[in-house]
Amino acid sequence: MPVYPTASGPLEVLEWGDGPTLVLLLHAAAAGPGSLSGLAKALTGPGRRIVAPALHGYGGTLVAGADDPMAAHVTVARAVLERYPAERRVVIGHSMGGLVALLAAPPVDAMVVYEPIVLGLLRDDDPADLAARDWDRAIVAELERHIAAGEPEAGIRVFVEAWNEVLWGALPASVRARLIAAAPAMAREIRAGSSRPLALERIEAPLLILQGSASPAITARMTARLHAGVPGSRRVVLDGCGHMGPVQASAAMAAAIEAASVLGA
């Protein structure tokens, strides 16, 4: 992947196509931009330039002096939008990448988020929200406990099997090794994102919210809260998709995006 110098530091980006429409893809935690290559190829078409940056700390991307991973990820997203001038700009974020898109709230023509991790929207007075939050907190606590004990594989296994609809042993050895190495950084990202407040009133672009029917219950709680909090937003449930839908069912996600006409003609 090419690495470009920017005012905030080096930026590594995957690119597909060219044209006046810019589509910015923001990846999930521990995933990297390559995880969205299937979606990028499914969305590639005449007049579209699709770019998927490595967020801060992934690949060759590094925001100088960053001590807050979520703020650094937002800096990366904004740097990409500044680097690629376009007539129409659309941001698509998956999971943590969806949260980054919402935090950045850039002046774009449309935003698409697939199950963004907007834990801050869950309500303390709703039993279903509280149960969902407790489920997530227990998983994160296990991840952090195992990392502190020098057992990152045990911790990341719990997290992956809960959130990613895949058995740990079914992953290729190279992927497992990468996830184990990334476990401490991923735990920091999760902590940074879990308490991040969202200023929903800053979201002015048309917003399409995508939800998988087979995803963990907490994701449906979060996307429902987001939909209720952003007037005019649309929420679409993709049948049979799980939390890793953009990776495992990229054609279905691309079809939903095309059906919503957010990319323009």
* Judgement on whether residues 29 and 60 belong to the same structural domain of the protein: yes
Q: What is the CATH number of the domain that holds 229?
A: 3.40.50.1820
Tell me which residue has tokens 């979060």. Answer: 222
Instruction: Spell 212-249 as b/e; 16+ CB within 10 A means b.
Output: beebbebbbbbbbbbbeebeebebbebeebbbbbbbbb
The predicted pLDDT at position 197 comes to 83
Structural domain includes residue 164: yes
Share of the chain above pLDDT 90, in %: 83
* Mean pLDDT computed over 224-236: 97
Structural domain includes residue 96: yes
The whole-chain average pLDDT of the chain stands at 94
* Judgement on whether residues 84 and 110 belong to the same structural domain of the protein: yes
* Judgement on whether residues 116 and 205 belong to the same structural domain of the protein: yes
The predicted pLDDT at position 208 comes to 98
* Judgement on whether residues 11 and 137 belong to the same structural domain of the protein: no
> Which residue, 223, 264, 263, 265, is CA-closest to 243?
223
The predicted pLDDT at position 13 comes to 96
Q: How far is CA 170 from CA 45, 140, 250, in A?
A: 33, 22, 20
* Judgement on whether residues 131 and 240 belong to the same structural domain of the protein: no
* Judgement on whether residues 213 and 110 belong to the same structural domain of the protein: yes
* Judgement on whether residues 140 and 253 belong to the same structural domain of the protein: no
* Mean pLDDT computed over 119-143: 94
Picking from 193, 216, 248, the residue at the C-terminal end of a domain is 193
Residue type, 161: E
The predicted pLDDT at position 90 comes to 98
* Judgement on whether residues 110 and 215 belong to the same structural domain of the protein: yes
Q: Give the structural domain span for 143.
A: 127-193
Structural domain includes residue 142: yes
Structural domain includes residue 172: yes
Structural domain includes residue 29: yes
Picking from 145, 178, 193, the residue at the C-terminal end of a domain is 193
Structural domain includes residue 265: no
* Judgement on whether residues 10 and 69 belong to the same structural domain of the protein: yes
Instruction: Spell 183-203 as b/e; 16+ CB within 10 A means b.
Output: bbebbebbebbbebebebeeb
Residue 194 predicted with pLDDT over 80: no
Picking from 164, 193, 222, the residue at the C-terminal end of a domain is 193
Choice between 67 and 112, residue whose per-residue pLDDT is larger: 112
* Judgement on whether residues 27 and 138 belong to the same structural domain of the protein: no
Helix 127-148 with 152-163: angle, nearest 10 deg: 150
The predicted pLDDT at position 265 comes to 62
* Judgement on whether residues 13 and 106 belong to the same structural domain of the protein: yes
Structural domain includes residue 15: yes
The predicted pLDDT at position 211 comes to 98
* Mean pLDDT computed over 145-171: 93
> Are 63 and 12 a contacting pair, CB within 8 Å?
no
Residue 172 predicted with pLDDT over 70: yes
**Confidence at 71, pLDDT banded by 50, 70, 90:** very high
Q: What is the pTM of this model?
A: 0.94
Number of domains in the chain: 2
pLDDT digits (tens, 9 = 90+) for 13-47: 999 999 999 999 999 998 899 999 999 999 999 99
Residue 92 predicted with pLDDT over 80: yes
Structural domain includes residue 264: no
* Mean pLDDT computed over 158-183: 91
* Judgement on whether residues 89 and 108 belong to the same structural domain of the protein: yes
